[in-house]
Structure 1
Amino acid sequence: MLKPKKITVLLKGYPRLSETFIAQELLGLERAGFALELVAMRRPTDKKRHPVHDEIQAPVHYLPEYLHEEPFRVLKALWRVKSLPGFRTVMAQFFKDLPRDLSRNRFRRLGQAMVLVAEWPDQSDWLHAHFIHTPASVAFYASLLSGRGFSVSAHAKDIWTSKDWDLADKLAHAAWVVTCTKVGFDRLSALADRPGRVHLSYHGLDLDRFPPFDGQRPARDGTDPADPIQLLSVGRAVKKKGYDTLLKALAALPAMLNWRFTHIGGGDELSRLKALASELAIADRITWKGAMDQRDVLTHYRESDLFALACRITADGDRDGLPNVLVEAASQGLMPVSTTVSGISELFVDGENGLLVEPDDVAALASALARAMSDPDLRTRLGAAAEQRVRRDFDYRNSIRDLTVLFSRSQ
């Protein structure tokens, strides 16, 4: 199969600790023989990097995050692209979109697309965007302007917070779109102009980085104050993760259960969550670790007894797809307690390889946590089943094979 000479990959921000799955995919594509050039719409804000970021060889370029910050660069790009055959086409699309999205962001995406086309990487003959909201808007405009084809990886928030018209337009013009959950696949397929435009491919893990845990977890049952249950959660402190619900569920646990909760991740909601923990009188049982790299997170998976994530759908429709941290935890035989949101039910079955409850149900979540905390045999059995499922069906090499086929058709 023929492959593009080089793929320009458009990212919202890079590198990001919370988007390990993207970095893992980029490295997998390089190992599969693809030449990549990365273009990000935002510069990094995380202070740490995962090891995988250092293994990626592709150069990284940054578009102007705000057009007014680099006016001469934007004007230079406009001068260079205004004579292209696609200039009228992209302006017609822009003025079609503007009444439906009268915002500064709409102008920003057009300006970023012009800069991308004006500074197009040498030898690159394909454009691929991660996320079908703002990065795909830039890719769509850049494709119209330059005449080059483009494709999209859609994930979670980008699918569920985008308007139908916006998704439908991109689906009609993209060569193909790939997404990582069945629920996302169903939504996009319903809006696509023809069958076969949308493809389902789970991200999976690089299992070499998550080898089986050959240790043995203590048979803690929460009865010993000197040896409490070690409960872990990994995720950004944002509303869709449901950490307020999780804290309330922890506060509702039976008084005789002894536990410690560790949270790993940054996020805008941290200060509010810490205040809530104090109000609930459980702050002394919680450790807030902040952002950590993948190696340190792996250690915490192995030292913990139970994993919890209380995902929800927010008022604006934002939600997770299948959080990568749940797959990572399961790869270490760590049993999850989570919710039935989005793609979580595509990996986990309640009572078979985890415990799942409806989102925002504090009582049900507390009951599931108490059941798992007090039953080490249950945790071992369901954790083993979760690991078996991950190692059988969620190897990231499967996704790389899918992408290799799709990119090889992108000529």
Structure 2
Amino acid sequence: MRVAFWVKRFPNLYETFILNQVLHLRESGIEIDVIARERADYPTVEAKLLAAGIDCDDSSHSHSADRPSVMPPGRRGRVLYETRLPHTRIRRLARASTRLAPYFIQRPRLLYRLLAHPTETNHGQLRLACAAVPFFKNRHYDLIHCQFGPFGLMAVALRKAGVFNCPIVTSFRGYDLGAMVQQEQVDYTPLFAAGEAFTPVCKAFSAKLQALGCPTQNIEVIHSPIDCSQFAFQPRGLEAGERARLLSIGRLVEKKGFHIALHAVRKLLDRGFRLDYTIIGEGPYRAELENLIQSLEITAHVTLRGWIPHAEALDEIRRSHILVQPSARTSEGDTDGIPNALKEAMATGMPVVATCHSGIPELVEDGVSGFLVREENVAQLDHCLVHVLSNPQSWQALGRAARKHVLNEFDISSVTQKLMELYRAVGNR
């Protein structure tokens, strides 16, 4: 089976689940290409892709329409990139004209259909035509798997224009069901009417899809997986006099709720607890968090490490005692799904304290594999952390239950098998 994964940015080291899914699908015998809007250069990741039989080839940026693949079709996959269009109208037209020029001769009718008719997406005709180019140049696909709803909308428009004729599976992962619907008024009606299958990453997103009008029979929850073989079980404990090490991991954005955790840390310090709190990640919320840390006078106890490679993040997980995941819905409607950092910490046996947010209760069973508190509730988070820090003898039991649940429901081997079964079912309809 030949599958195209359509994503925004690849490889995106904040979305390691997509990279891992691509690699495991390839290992399972799927011939896979990745089509991305934005490129990121990470040599270590490219080495993994090459070893798995996927070439990091940006020849889709070439202006030659007939440049051949360096590999025989059917043997290796490729990573292909869309042409990004400038914002200014004149430069946008110039870039698109250069990019599309060869196809005015080779695919005139198809280009006319793409350029002459209004689209049902939030993108203009030029954007849609340029997005079609990787599909012009490459082999027939048995299925297109779109990561995030907007790419599903574009895939439906491309199929309607005749760019390809295969089933479309769309995964919904968070922002595409939150701010994009609430603030940007994205309408998924054309996608729901034409798409073959929809895979929200949690039951909470399944309910949102149904509320928006997605046919229930076409929805199947498929979690974002982690490779549990990378995470050895490591019982946690706290020695007498040892400082507790709290950890959070994620982009520095409002929905992660790190500001709530900082207020809780201030209360814990006031209670006399000896602790350090590390936040790993980068993002637009950094300046606000830095200002809050200073105003709360907790600079000596809090470290913003910024973005670090995944291997270093795993080292931090192994060194830490408790993971704090205070995710919260933003005023714009943006939400988490089930954060991967939470799964990874639980796979190592780390106690976790998280919020009753989105799909998190599907991962964390309160009082059994971790603890849950209400969103944006500093007092409840503080009291829960007081309980966890005061009872280190309970950490091993929590950690074992957490690892067992992650192995059963979120390991990449079982999730990949489930995804492949969906591919086969969709292909046979």
Q: Please state which band the TM-score falls in when normalised by the shorter chain.
A: 0.7 to 0.9
Q: Provide the residue aligned with 2:228 in structure 1.
A: 207
Tell me which amino acid in the other structure corresponds to 1:36.
I
Q: Provide the residue aligned with 1:245 in structure 2.
A: 260
Pairing 1:162–2:180 present: yes
- Equivalent residues of 1:240, 1:319 under 8 A apart: yes
Go from structure 1 to structure 2 and tell me whether the alpha carbon gap of 1:346 and 1:365 turns closer, same or farther (over 3 Å shift): same
Go from structure 1 to structure 2 and tell me whether the alpha carbon gap of 1:269 and 1:184 turns closer, same or farther (over 3 Å shift): same
The TM-score with structure 1 as length reference comes to 0.87
Q: Provide the residue aligned with 1:219 in structure 2.
A: 238
Q: Provide the residue aligned with 1:130 in structure 2.
A: 147
- Equivalent residues of 1:153, 1:179 under 8 A apart: yes
**What's the offset of the Cα at 1:63?**
0.5
**What's the offset of the Cα at 1:70?**
3.0
SS at match of 1:188: helix
Counterpart CA distance in 1 for 2:250 and 2:280 is 6
The TM-score with structure 2 as length reference comes to 0.84
Q: Alpha carbon RMSD of aligned pairs, Å?
A: 2.6
- Equivalent residues of 1:152, 1:177 under 8 A apart: yes
SS at match of 1:252: helix
**What's the offset of the Cα at 1:357?**
0.9
Go from structure 1 to structure 2 and tell me whether the alpha carbon gap of 1:194 and 1:137 turns closer, same or farther (over 3 Å shift): closer
Structure 1: which 5+ residue stretches go unaligned? none
Go from structure 1 to structure 2 and tell me whether the alpha carbon gap of 1:174 and 1:377 turns closer, same or farther (over 3 Å shift): same
Higher relative contact order (CA 8 A, sep 6+): 1
Pairing 1:43–2:39 present: yes
Go from structure 1 to structure 2 and tell me whether the alpha carbon gap of 1:402 and 1:357 turns closer, same or farther (over 3 Å shift): same
Tell me which amino acid in the other structure corresponds to 1:127.
I
Structure 2: which 5+ residue stretches go unaligned? 55-77, 87-91
- Equivalent residues of 1:189, 1:197 under 8 A apart: no
- Equivalent residues of 2:114, 2:128 under 8 A apart: no
Out of 64, 85, 100, the residue aligned to residue 66 of structure 1 is 85
Q: Provide the residue aligned with 1:83 in structure 2.
A: 109
Q: How does 1:294-373 map to 2 (within 5 A)?
A: 294-373=310-389
- Equivalent residues of 1:73, 1:115 under 8 A apart: no
Pairing 1:30–2:26 present: yes
SS at match of 2:149: coil
**What's the offset of the Cα at 1:205?**
1.8
Moved more, 369-378 or 302-311: 369-378
Tell me which amino acid in the other structure corresponds to 1:263.
I
- Equivalent residues of 2:373, 2:381 under 8 A apart: yes
Go from structure 1 to structure 2 and tell me whether the alpha carbon gap of 1:107 and 1:260 turns closer, same or farther (over 3 Å shift): farther
Q: Provide the residue aligned with 2:415 in structure 1.
A: 399
**What's the offset of the Cα at 1:116?**
3.5
Counterpart CA distance in 1 for 2:302 and 2:383 is 19
**What's the offset of the Cα at 1:190?**
3.8
Out of 182, 200, 203, the residue aligned to residue 182 of structure 1 is 203
Q: Deviations over 1:305-358 (max 9, x none)?
A: 100011010111111000011000000110111100100011112212111111
Tell me which amino acid in the other structure corresponds to 1:124.
Y
Go from structure 1 to structure 2 and tell me whether the alpha carbon gap of 1:162 and 1:325 turns closer, same or farther (over 3 Å shift): same
- Report percent identity of matched pairs: 25
- Equivalent residues of 2:173, 2:200 under 8 A apart: yes
SS at match of 2:336: coil
Pairing 1:287–2:303 present: yes
- Equivalent residues of 1:312, 1:359 under 8 A apart: yes
Tell me which amino acid in the other structure corresponds to 1:75.
L
Moved more, 163-172 or 331-340: 163-172
Counterpart CA distance in 2 for 1:244 and 1:176 is 37
Go from structure 1 to structure 2 and tell me whether the alpha carbon gap of 1:410 and 1:190 turns closer, same or farther (over 3 Å shift): farther
Tell me which amino acid in the other structure corresponds to 1:187.
K
Tell me which amino acid in the other structure corresponds to 1:137.
L
SS at match of 1:208: helix
- Equivalent residues of 1:237, 1:267 under 8 A apart: yes
Go from structure 1 to structure 2 and tell me whether the alpha carbon gap of 1:193 and 1:136 turns closer, same or farther (over 3 Å shift): closer
Q: How does 1:269-284 map to 2 (within 5 A)?
A: 269-284=285-300
Go from structure 1 to structure 2 and tell me whether the alpha carbon gap of 1:115 and 1:54 turns closer, same or farther (over 3 Å shift): closer
Go from structure 1 to structure 2 and tell me whether the alpha carbon gap of 1:143 and 1:403 turns closer, same or farther (over 3 Å shift): same
Go from structure 1 to structure 2 and tell me whether the alpha carbon gap of 1:73 and 1:176 turns closer, same or farther (over 3 Å shift): farther
- Equivalent residues of 1:74, 1:111 under 8 A apart: no
Counterpart CA distance in 1 for 2:192 and 2:325 is 32
Q: Provide the residue aligned with 2:14 in structure 1.
A: 18
SS at match of 1:13: strand
Counterpart CA distance in 2 for 1:81 and 1:50 is 32
- Equivalent residues of 2:277, 2:303 under 8 A apart: yes
Counterpart CA distance in 2 for 1:262 and 1:380 is 22
Moved more, 369-378 or 162-171: 162-171
SS at match of 1:202: coil
Counterpart CA distance in 2 for 1:90 and 1:398 is 42
Q: How does 1:371-386 map to 2 (within 5 A)?
A: 371-386=387-402
- Equivalent residues of 1:175, 1:410 under 8 A apart: no
SS at match of 1:369: helix
- Equivalent residues of 2:117, 2:125 under 8 A apart: no
